Structures are given as C-alpha cells and as structure tokens.
Amino acid sequence: MKDYLVKAMTNDGLIRAYAASTTHLVEEARSRQDTWATASAALGRTLTIASIMGTMNKGEAEVTVKIEGGGPLGAIVADANTQGHVRGYVKNPHVDFDLNSKGKLDVSRAVGMSGNLQVIKDLGLRDYFTGEVPIVSGEIGEDFTYYYATSEQIPSAVGAGVLVNPDHSILAAGGFIVQVMPGADDATINRLEEQLKFFPAISTLIQEGKTPEEILYRLFGEKEISIHETLPVEYRCKCSKERIANAITGLGNEEIQAMIDEDKGAEATCHFCNEVYHFTEEELEALKN
C-alpha cells in the first residue's frame, strides 16, 4: 500500500477525521538516519502526525513540530507542508530499549517526560502561530492530544504507531487525528471516547492491510462518515546546495577563509535527510561577500 492520507467528516458535521498510512516515508527516514528501533518509532510517530497536521492548512503554509522531552533521543524535529511532504530527524538516532510492559516499543522512555512539545505554524505573509505544551506522556500521540486540547482548545484524539521488523526496517506505520467541531454535544464526545477506548492500535491495522478509509469506517461506521479528500504523503527534504551555500555565506568572510586555509574545502550535512554537500576551495572563494 502506498503512503497516503484521507480527510473525512462525519455526516452530522460534528467530527472531522484524518487518517494516514506512512510505512514507506517512515522507512525512508529510518534508512537515511539509521535510527534504531525505539528511535524509529518516536520519529515515525512524529513524522506521521506532522504529515497530517501539514495538510490541515492551506496554500504555502508549513508546520514545524519540536519535541524535547529530556530523554536520550534529544530533540525530535519534523516539518510538513500542505502537499503531504514531510521531513524530520531525531538528535540521537542510536537509541533502543527493551519493549515496555505492554510489549510495545518504549517510546516514552526514549523521548523523556520532562520537556515540551512545540508547534510552529508558518501561515505565510509573516503570520506565525506558536503553541507549546509540557510533555504529558512521551508517547507522542497523547502529547499531541493534550496539545490540541490546551493550546488550540479543540477536543481531539491523536494516535500514531510504528511497527519495526527484526532487521530494523519499518513493518507498518500510520496515524490519525480526530477533532470535535464546535457545536458538538457531550454525548458525541463521550461516544467517540468509548469507540477509541476499544480501538485496535493503528499500526496493527496498517500491518493487516487496512487502508486509511477502512480505519475511519471501522471507527465511525461506513455510513456515518464521508471521505472528501485523498492525498499522497512522502518524505521529501527541501535542502539544496544553493541553500547550504547561502548559509555558508552568512558565516562571513573570515569564517569562509578559515575553511579554505584549514580544511581546503567544506562539507555540510543536512540534518533532515543526511545528504552531504561538498564545497571546493574555489566554490568557497566564490561565496565570500
């Protein structure tokens, strides 16, 4: 199954829902950054949720999410646009722990529970929205649920899951965001909470071959919800040699001369995709002001 997401609304107009299958994009991130299993799960959950959040905006808007929980992973950063392009990295990719007491990858231990989740929306024309909440569980889905409830005041349920093969490649990944619209009564919210309580892990559903549509049908009932958009999602970085060159120019002539004299060139690696860019002495010379 290709990676894609669907946007849907219940027919009574009270709940909007997004679901995504992201196995391939999480595998792309894993192979580029050589993340170990627990790190793959943490990064994969974050990338999945960010990819959905990116498509909730319009036009040129971009969303950046940063999770700093104080755990061994260090910061997790992801950004996404409205086209379904997402990229991200984790500061320390070589983190892996034994499964937790529920038999799952111990994401909260890797993320930590003593920091913050930050969301920055660049809505274009210098219009920024920033929200920040403390980490409440370190399991990432619950942290985004808390973020929506407190920072955006939208009652939501956010879930994301990643299953890892014994060889560390990604077996299955996916996620959902479900949001209650203004005007929904307590009964609607309570019913949703009940349905989610007994809902299987989304990574398991993806592994069984369930599509994002089928996952929402299972949650709400096929006759109760309508899919109104389907969009491919993929890992795509926006780095380029030109962007790195601009950054080098920004360091100033003195710094560039030091690279030429001491290193006979420069090498820069993109944090997000691990692409390596080389600059010769001549290229560096040309970047001076």
**Among residues 36, 235, 272, 277, the one that binds Zn ion under rule CB under 5 A:** 272
Shortest Cβ distance from residue 35 to Zn ion (Å)? 16
Question: How many chain residues touch Zn ion (CB under 5 A)?
Answer: 6
**Among residues 47, 273, 284, 287, the one that binds Zn ion under rule CB under 5 A:** 273
3-state helix, strand, coil in the chain (%, to 5): 35, 30, 35
Instruction: Tell whether residue 270 is a contact of Zn ion (CB under 5 A).
Output: yes
Shortest Cβ distance from residue 249 to Zn ion (Å)? 18
Per CB under 5 A, contacts with Zn ion among 227-256 are 237, 239
Instruction: Tell whether residue 120 is a contact of Zn ion (CB under 5 A).
Output: no
The packing angle between helices 141-150 and 37-54, to 10°, is: 30
Whichever of 242 and 282 has its CB closer to Zn ion, that residue is 242
Shortest Cβ distance from residue 281 to Zn ion (Å)? 24
Instruction: Pinpoint the alpha helices (H) of the chain.
Output: 23-33, 37-54, 107-111, 141-150, 186-197, 202-207, 212-220, 241-251, 253-258, 281-286
Whichever of 8 and 266 has its CB closer to Zn ion, that residue is 266
Shortest Cβ distance from residue 30 to Zn ion (Å)? 15
Piece of 60-68, 140-148, 158-166, 268-276 that binds Zn ion (CB under 5 A): 268-276
Phi, psi values for residue 55, rounded to 5° = -85, 0
- CA dist 124 to 60, 77, 227, Å? 6, 20, 28
Contacting residues toward Zn ion, per CB under 5 A = 237, 239, 270, 272-273, 275
